[in-house]
Amino acid sequence: MKILLVDDDPGLRDLVGLALERAGFQVVTASDGQIAVTHAAREAPDLIVLDIGLPEMDGFEVCLRIRARSEVPILFLTARDDEIDRVLGLEMGADDYVTKPFSPRELVARVKAILKRTAAPRPASTLSHGRITMDASAHICKLDGNTVPLTATEFTLLATLIERPSHVHSRTQLIQAVWGVLSQVSDRTLDSHLRNLRAKLSQAGCAGVIQTVHGVGVRIQDLPA
């Protein structure tokens, strides 16, 4: 699988690139945002590792431009342990983030985890819930026949809810279902993805279908066909 690694620090690119190659990935690198946008379109990577603190065009702008035409998984790198950066990145469509300094081993593990849930087969190849239909093999979600563009994380999150529509999922259950049992993803990260998912469904004409049961968890409401 091909990884696009975007960072203006040549030392970090070499270190992380080597770790990814040793893990069996093909690595394409970019040193600035414009090159990253070009490579994302031309190279069709399976995942992008994207530094926020790029010169001229920062990682947020790069993410927005890529998200305008692709749902490729994006893993943000941030040099600051800043919650605003992390939440903003997730709200723009990133699938996960790693805060610098980090170990290359940790980053490779995060990359593998994202790709695993992106490629993992669902219990059913197609799912439906009222007006919502999901084709897991093609990674397509439709509402009333119209495509709703979802990131890999959003798609897995919605599929998890639809698989058990009458069940109230605790936040821990959702995190484990989407990111894995050993994940250290926080509730706030989950909330950011839920907020994005709700916004996309609402924009498509299905507001309020994902319900928070205060003190218990989250469920998907009945949605007549």
Chain segment 82-138, per-residue pLDDT in tens: 666 667 777 777 888 888 888 999 899 989 988 887 765 554 578 888 889 998 878
**CATH homologous superfamily for 2-119?**
Response regulator (3.40.50.2300)
Mean per-residue pLDDT, 69-93: 78
What's the order of all strands across the beta sheet hosting 140-143?
126-129, 132-135, 140-143, 146-147
Question: Do 2-119 and 126-220 show the same overall fold?
Answer: no
Which is higher by pLDDT, 182 or 207? 207
Q: What angle do CA 166, 172, 173 make, to 5 degrees?
A: 40
CATH 1.10.10.10 fits 126-220, yes or no: yes
Report domain extents, the chain.
2-119, 126-220
Percent of the chain surpassing pLDDT 90: 42
pLDDT surpassing 90 at residue 26 = yes
Which is higher by pLDDT, 179 or 28? 28
Chain segment 189-225, per-residue pLDDT in tens: 888 889 989 999 999 988 888 988 888 899 998 775 5
Q: State the Cα–Cα distance between residues 90 and 192, nearest whole angstrom.
A: 6
Percent of the chain surpassing pLDDT 70: 91
**What confidence score (pLDDT) does residue 113 get?**
85
